[in-house]
Structure 1
Amino acid sequence: MSLLQRACTRPRAQLKRSILQAAASRRHLTNNGFFQVSDEVREALNTNKPVVALETTIYTHGFPYPDNVALASLLESVVRVNGGVPATIGILDGVAHVGMSPEELIRLTESAGKSTTLKLSRRDLSYVCGLRLTNKRFNGGTTIAGTMLLAHLAGIRIFGTGGLGGVHRGAESSMDISADLTELGRTPVTVISSGCKSFLDIGRTLEYLETEGVGVGTFADGRKGDVDFPSFWARDSGVKSPTTIENERDAAAIIHAQHSLQIQSGLLFANPVPAESEIPREAMDSVIAEAIRQADASGASGKDNTPFILNKIKELTGGKSIPANGALIESNVRRAAIVAKELSVLEANQDGAQGSTTGYFTPVPTSPISSSANTPIETPPSSPEAPLITASSDPPPVDIIVAGALAVDFSCDYAPLSGSSSKTDPAPHTSNPAVITQTLGGVAHNIAKAAHYLGSNVLLCSAIGDDLSGRAALSQLQTEGMQSDGIKMLPLPERTAQYVAVNNANKDLTLAMADMSILESSTPESIQSTWLSNFSEHSTKPKIVVVDANWSAPTLQAWLHYGRSINAYTVFEPVSTAKSTRLLTPTSSQTQPQNENIYPTHLADLATPNTHELLALHNTADTLSLFASPQWFRIIDAIGIPSSGLRTRLTQTLGPALVDEGIPQQSIKLLPFIPTILTKLGARGVLLTRLLLPDDPLLSDGEAARYVLARNGNGDGIVGGLYVRVFPVEEVVRPEEVVSVNGIGDTFLGAVVSGLVGGGAVQDVLGLAQRAAGLTLRCGESVSREVRGLRGELERGGMEGLPYPFMVDYS
């Protein structure tokens, strides 16, 4: 529009321009009691960032909870990964939201299936918003028509979705025509979809769109000449597309011209389903015919017709239509984000050519080559500090491997109402009011993310399922700028790991539920073929290997064997009381596990239990009679504990409370199996219990003398002494500052290993690790982004601070 306007310099032309701009701005509503645009979306629109509208009917009336949450997270991540800002649109309590927070999305998705959650087109918006004034509160998922209208009112021009409604078969007598088509005829928003549902009359749908003045084109996807308009599950429909669009840059140019010409109708760009997910048209024809027959027989019409037919198609295809649905909407949203980015680039360049300079953000332009759904899309880094690294045949160097859980985390924080009987703890056996947030988590992911934020070269090794949660997790991992080479997608029926934490009003954990079966079903043979053989091929030799206890006992121990076999420093994160004992659990290949896992042939150089996990480890060792073996006594004797015992010295050094609880005594007894133990004491800090080597500098350090509670006296040269010290929390976080306790222990360990790989000694990195944990305690994420601010405190160097490992031959 600016080119036409600037070519006219007469006063009347300038006046006309002002009138046109004023008319356009009236359609972009400001926030009011019925309509709310999020701060992120408003900022993006005001600074020419690419914005993509997303509908919500697919969440409220398409996918069940919590699959709809995973899909919502995936699609927003797809937009962000490709340089855009997602604007998910829906209705909450009678208020239209353009751009929804994670909490708002969860509120909407978990309301799916309720009688107060409606499917909302243009005609329904005033009804649900108006009744809010009479205390009748509705939630709703917006259809394509409803989403287009609200997107236009906010000033958003591009909308990515699944399949368009259309003219139903037999519409010449039923007049069953989707409101999506008339909305396209009067609302200037570009819709990118996989055509219309294939059970519709595609030919008549295109005729109706022509009557409405809607421009229709289909992405060529590398094909030459005229192409078919797609039919949702199939790339071809037998009906030629009115026009063919070569690539996203061409699409952006068409949109720019449409708005510059003030054409007040929409555009429909069809994006064929990815070839690998296609269900051929021939295979679908008989299925669709049967589904329509059953819909007619049941009397399903109007807005009930499409859901009925889709459900029948799902049944008749044995569920094969569902993966195709997920693949095509993900592909459409990805393409919408790229088109939005190209449009921002084009308009920024047009403004620059006309001498109009602004402070607008200018996205990095993409290649003019069409981005096929089958081609990975390279995107700019998510931040200067977190470069995006994608899988490659030549992986970057790795200092730390973290093997364990990558999961979708749900945090449920109890939020008591004024009349609740308990102001602190949720009531059992009933529903409780809560604030629920969803993040990408998992113990190993959080550890790796913290170390990544601190500048370490980290490779996360985990498994995800071929499901919505898995694809969302992988997309988010790439958004975070972390290496994805170590993430393996396993076929169904494997499920991506999920973790649900229920916290009380003080944000302390009350109950947690975890589904980590995807790791627990692994075997040493499977990790050898999936991960370890690849490491050997690429000469991946990390300095530290961290393993969490979500693996099965044999697999956990196989990971640790691998770490010791390459002379890496091995770290064990116990995860929970039940899983912590897997380190000591005998496996089928171990006839005498107690002899194989005792210093110096121990598996884990360091572990980070809390007090409950420490007790579980201690009791398991006792049950297995590990404290009665000659090898264990040899190490205990070598420590040099006096015949009078250590209670007095422990009390003087640590205080009576810890000693009375037996915590340091338990950790000392476990040192032959884990030579360095960091026991997390909550607000009291961290207890470091550690075997010292005969030449450890701490043995001759005057300042460290008060923490060296025993010294070797038998001269056997295996152990130099015992170091025990509490590191108090540097700053106690007030209860009102606590946002979430989830992830603080993982953040702590991630900072510890990052400090160690940088050359720090264990006792020297704990202050940094505690500060990192405190930052996570104050935020709602599994690892606080502010951890990156601690990067300057790390000194990069060798591994001089590590007292272990020893080269061990396990052959």
Structure 2
Amino acid sequence: MLVTRQLVRLNHVKQVGATSSRMFSVSRSSAVTISEEVKQALEDKQKPVVSLESTIITHGLPYPENLSMARRVESVIRENGAIPATCAFIKGQPLVGLDESQLEHLAHTTSPKPNKVSRRDIGYTMSTKQNGGTTIASTMILSEMAGIKVFATGGLGGVHRDGQNTLDVSADLTELGRTPVSVVCAGPKSILDIGLTLEYLETQGVFVGTYNDDGRENIQVPGFYTRDSGFQSPYSFSSFEQAASIIHNQNNIMGLKSGQIFCIPPSRETALPSELMQRVIAAANEEAIKLGIQGKELTPFLLSKIAQETKGQSVHSNIELVLNNARSASQIAKELLSLETNRASSQFQPSTNIKKRKMDEGVKKVDEKKQDTTSVSDIPTPSVVNTIVVGSLALDSICKISSNVIMNDSNPGTISSSVGGVGFNVAKACSLALKSPSCSNGTSRLVSIVSNDMAGHTIIGQLKKLGIDTSGILVDTTSGCSTAQYTSTHANNGDLIIACADMKIAEYDGLAQHVLSEIKRGSPRQIVVDCNVSSSTLSTIFDYVRESNLECNVIVEPTSSPKSKRISLCHSRNLRPFPNNSVSLITPTVGELDAIHSALAERELFDDYDHWFPLLDSLGIDSTFREKLSISKHPVLKNGLELGYLQQAFSVLPYIPNILLKLGEQGVLSMSISTNVEDYKSIPTTSVYSPEFTIVTSTGRSYTADNGSQQKMGLVIQYFPIPPENGNITIENVTGAGDSFLGYLMARMSTANTHLVEGTWLTSEVGSVEREWFKWESIHKAQLASGKSLQSLAAISEDIATIE
């Protein structure tokens, strides 16, 4: 009891002034930015919301494991019928519910390192505009402000060992005594004094209950890694309905302003032996004392030592219990919402009849735990295809103002709706091109995702009317996202004024497994992927192509400057220099190339002096070559040097050895790595499709590849101006011009796979004069396809099929 009194005195000191500060709480929620998805769920009350902390992202795991973990937890919550709301501070702004780009930003930021934000750190983090990972305490605060009542985490903070003397007590405990948010966890962390932690929580009036998942009589509080801690749980609960009832009665009925702790024991498969953990923790604490490690440095030190001594078993256990807690929290949140809205809990079983119900004539049958890849296209389709296009599929609305634009007012004009999305546009252009006289014997398939909503069913119906293979389209019922939509407004000359894109469903990590199954089914020769999809989906594609025996080129359409950075967020094993590159070709604009270059530089990939620099040096980009470029009067080269896009391309090429840079009205600049640049001297330029110029570096240097072979390296730059046919056209719509260019190129690559012995021109060697000429012709006619769509009201012109 002496210990308890000491801790009570400490608690009294910490809470001085807390009452007076609450009088200003009326408008505090306006300071928190709540994502539209979370806000909608809280308002509609159709799906529960579960909040998540973010210190596991900023301080728990290294990149990219932290990002993968964050996505997995969010995915588990969605699979169990709830909406995840990860809380964090980005540039000082408190956020509840992060989108994909925010998650990536938080996970990837290391300089400066994000702040670890508890209650005391909130004001400082906001005023200094820092990034911050939220602890249990600050996540509870943000959750209460947003109106979220259930929060899933890993382990609970508490009283450190010898806490009666050091007074080292986590702010999580005092927060639980004054903030009505329920925390679902695996018990106090094993490194703590669990007995003192339970006493402190009792003093705070905090309910502590442990899930009786196997009918035991004497229930102990779990010890984070272990199912038992040696300390009796104050209460137990045998169902998630009972847990929800406790929350409902304590907070909703009685109005008590304190939180609850619901402890979920780790599964028997992932739990570690209690004896082992006691021995390891005791040794780690003894070493910390000898080294004088204490305060905020103590916990990371102890966890690191535990991971070392258990040979990584503790890390695996940690990850699995977090996922287990997320599942349990989702079920508790569903039952709580049921009680609050007087609805039967069965209404909150997400898609329980999905296995039995056909989705829109069977487009895809989706189980909440498993996705079936049954094909449902109305037209017979082959399993194997030349080209798979992975990307966004959206319902597009295009507005064209008929007179001068009047801002902040209604403008007369025309509005048309159609199926769109970068993935669809590329796939449609490819399909049309395969019908043209210049292409033959190719097949393609779009792999994408829509939601089981009105927009999704409209899109599927339209695709079937167009005769497009829908067997690669997944109808999703688990992500909580709506079907993607894009709305753009254009001036009367076709120039884009503003656009709004809701493409969140394309970022759903559950798409990755669907894409993987479609690649295995299709065995394509080339895969086109747009950067609307998440970096984890990109990594999944890169991993499979690299590890399988599939002879396949991966082509990336950057989509936009912000989204193009997702290439750099892939796992490091997918960002290796030529000839071990994962991406064969990118088709960026100048702005997108700049973003890709900056992202790769931020990841320090241009500091690789073992692989990147020797390869760059072997390309012959020396002072003589730079001087040759600088004295050129050609506007493309002059602008390229002044604006820096040539230098940026040279740096990126070792990682992506083919770049087709779209220069708008100036045409296309092709840059690529060649292992036999001398052969370009003997290629005749009498073709009507030949580039305006070809520049090569050739220093006679050799490059030793990872396989030990000696390769003569060089850089090839070729310029293709706008075709005369595109010179005097009336521009109606710029939306699908770039997609038409890439789609046509993919159709030509399908043709090359069939008719050219050497295959496509994406390899580093000049296989023959015929193949090089074929490349020139392909780029020229891809520009014609782009011009056709520029003249069309639709994003992709049907006239692409007429190109000879």
Letter in 1 for 2:105: R
2:693 maps to what in 1?
A: none
* Segment drifting more, 473-482 vs 65-74: 473-482
Following superposition, the deviation at residue 45 of structure 1 comes to 2.0
Alpha carbons of structure 1 residues 377 and 92: separation in structure 2 relative to 1, 3 Å: farther
Alignment of 1:315-354 (within 5 A): 315-349=308-342
2:636 maps to what in 1?
A: none
1:120 and 2:117 correspond: yes
Letter in 2 for 1:343: L
Q: Secondary structure at the match of 1:96?
A: strand
For the Cα contact (< 8 Å) 2:354–2:366, is it kept in 1?
no
2:500 maps to what in 1?
A: none
Following superposition, the deviation at residue 203 of structure 1 comes to 2.2
CA displacement, residues 375-422 of structure 1 (integer Å, 9 cap, x when unaligned): x9999999998753467799635754689999999xxxxxxxxxxxxx
Letter in 2 for 1:75: V
1:271 maps to what in 2?
A: 264
2:158 maps to what in 1?
A: 166
- In 2, distance between residues paired with 1:386 and 1:305? 50
Letter in 1 for 2:741: G
Of the three residues 458, 478, 486, the one matched with 2:472 is 458
Alpha carbons of structure 1 residues 184 and 388: separation in structure 2 relative to 1, 3 Å: same
- In 2, distance between residues paired with 1:403 and 1:255? 56
Q: Secondary structure at the match of 2:73?
A: helix
For the Cα contact (< 8 Å) 2:53–2:136, is it kept in 1?
yes
- In 1, distance between residues paired with 2:80 and 2:675? 49
For the Cα contact (< 8 Å) 1:167–1:177, is it kept in 2?
yes
Letter in 2 for 1:71: M
Following superposition, the deviation at residue 270 of structure 1 comes to 0.7
CA displacement, residues 659-700 of structure 1 (integer Å, 9 cap, x when unaligned): 997999xxxxxxxxxxxxxx98728956966999xxxxxxxx
Following superposition, the deviation at residue 147 of structure 1 comes to 1.2
Alpha carbons of structure 1 residues 764 and 222: separation in structure 2 relative to 1, 3 Å: farther
Alignment of 1:553-572 (within 5 A): none
Following superposition, the deviation at residue 26 of structure 1 comes to 8.2
Following superposition, the deviation at residue 190 of structure 1 comes to 0.1
Alpha carbons of structure 1 residues 450 and 46: separation in structure 2 relative to 1, 3 Å: closer
Q: Secondary structure at the match of 2:60?
A: coil
Following superposition, the deviation at residue 103 of structure 1 comes to 3.1
* Segment drifting more, 198-207 vs 38-47: 38-47
Following superposition, the deviation at residue 192 of structure 1 comes to 0.4
Of the three residues 553, 562, 584, the one matched with 1:576 is 584
Q: Secondary structure at the match of 1:310?
A: helix
Gaps of 5+ in 1: 1-22, 353-361, 370-375, 410-438, 461-472, 489-496, 503-512, 528-545, 551-573, 579-608, 625-645, 652-658, 665-678, 693-723, 738-743, 749-762, 771-811
- In 2, distance between residues paired with 1:248 and 1:446? 44
Q: Secondary structure at the match of 2:158?
A: coil
- In 2, distance between residues paired with 1:393 and 1:683? 30
CA displacement, residues 745-797 of structure 1 (integer Å, 9 cap, x when unaligned): xxx9xxxxxxxxxxxxxx989779x9xxxxxxxxxxxxxxxxxxxxxxxxxxx
Alpha carbons of structure 1 residues 193 and 102: separation in structure 2 relative to 1, 3 Å: same
Letter in 1 for 2:195: G
Alignment of 1:357-368 (within 5 A): 364-366=347-349
Alpha carbons of structure 1 residues 440 and 161: separation in structure 2 relative to 1, 3 Å: farther
Alpha carbons of structure 1 residues 30 and 126: separation in structure 2 relative to 1, 3 Å: closer
- In 2, distance between residues paired with 1:521 and 1:691? 21
Following superposition, the deviation at residue 292 of structure 1 comes to 1.0
Q: Secondary structure at the match of 2:41?
A: helix
Q: Secondary structure at the match of 2:86?
A: strand
1:42 maps to what in 2?
A: 39
1:682 and 2:758 correspond: no
Of the three residues 238, 244, 263, the one matched with 2:236 is 244
Of the three residues 367, 374, 380, the one matched with 1:396 is 374
2:624 maps to what in 1?
A: none
Letter in 1 for 2:187: G
Letter in 2 for 1:366: Q
Residues paired across the two proteins, number = 500
For the Cα contact (< 8 Å) 1:81–1:478, is it kept in 2?
no
For the Cα contact (< 8 Å) 1:52–1:159, is it kept in 2?
yes
CA displacement, residues 503-542 of structure 1 (integer Å, 9 cap, x when unaligned): xxxxxxxxxx989774356465xx9xxxxxxxxxxxxxxx
For the Cα contact (< 8 Å) 2:151–2:329, is it kept in 1?
yes
1:67 and 2:65 correspond: yes
2:307 maps to what in 1?
A: 314
- In 1, distance between residues paired with 2:322 and 2:288? 25
- In 1, distance between residues paired with 2:266 and 2:386? 35
Alpha carbons of structure 1 residues 733 and 341: separation in structure 2 relative to 1, 3 Å: farther
For the Cα contact (< 8 Å) 1:45–1:155, is it kept in 2?
yes
For the Cα contact (< 8 Å) 1:29–1:154, is it kept in 2?
no
- In 2, distance between residues paired with 1:45 and 1:245? 27
Q: Secondary structure at the match of 2:184?
A: strand
For the Cα contact (< 8 Å) 1:388–1:479, is it kept in 2?
no
Of the three residues 790, 793, 798, the one matched with 1:732 is 790
Letter in 2 for 1:38: S
* Segment drifting more, 222-231 vs 247-256: 222-231
Alignment of 1:694-709 (within 5 A): none
For the Cα contact (< 8 Å) 1:459–1:486, is it kept in 2?
no
Q: Secondary structure at the match of 1:449?
A: strand
1:519 and 2:533 correspond: no
- In 1, distance between residues paired with 2:423 and 2:270? 26
Alpha carbons of structure 1 residues 245 and 520: separation in structure 2 relative to 1, 3 Å: same
2:487 maps to what in 1?
A: none
Q: Secondary structure at the match of 1:227?
A: coil
CA displacement, residues 598-654 of structure 1 (integer Å, 9 cap, x when unaligned): xxxxxxxxxxx99899x999x999999xxxxxxxxxxxxxxxxxxxxx989x99xxx
2:193 maps to what in 1?
A: 201
- In 2, distance between residues paired with 1:59 and 1:483? 26
Letter in 2 for 1:271: I
For the Cα contact (< 8 Å) 1:403–1:547, is it kept in 2?
no
1:181 and 2:240 correspond: no
Alignment of 1:75-474 (within 5 A): 75-112=73-110, 114=112, 117-129=114-126, 132=127, 136-259=128-251, 260-349=253-342, 364-366=347-349, 388-389=366-367, 396-397=374-375, 400=383, 447-449=446-448, 455=460, 456-458=470-472
Following superposition, the deviation at residue 221 of structure 1 comes to 2.5
Q: Secondary structure at the match of 1:89?
A: strand
Following superposition, the deviation at residue 101 of structure 1 comes to 3.0
2:764 maps to what in 1?
A: none
For the Cα contact (< 8 Å) 2:41–2:48, is it kept in 1?
yes
Letter in 2 for 1:154: A
Q: Secondary structure at the match of 1:61?
A: helix
- In 2, distance between residues paired with 1:216 and 1:440? 50
CA displacement, residues 259-318 of structure 1 (integer Å, 9 cap, x when unaligned): 221111110001122332222222222211111112222222222221221122122222
Alignment root-mean-square deviation, CA: 6.0
- In 2, distance between residues paired with 1:189 and 1:173? 30
Following superposition, the deviation at residue 481 of structure 1 comes to 9.9
CA displacement, residues 574-610 of structure 1 (integer Å, 9 cap, x when unaligned): 96259xxxxxxxxxxxxxxxxxxxxxxxxxxxxxx99
Following superposition, the deviation at residue 486 of structure 1 comes to 7.2
- In 2, distance between residues paired with 1:214 and 1:380? 44
- In 1, distance between residues paired with 2:787 and 2:321? 50
Alpha carbons of structure 1 residues 515 and 171: separation in structure 2 relative to 1, 3 Å: same
Length-normalised TM-score, structure 2: 0.50
Following superposition, the deviation at residue 51 of structure 1 comes to 1.4
Identity %: 33
- In 2, distance between residues paired with 1:440 and 1:190? 42
Letter in 2 for 1:291: A
Alpha carbons of structure 1 residues 273 and 685: separation in structure 2 relative to 1, 3 Å: same
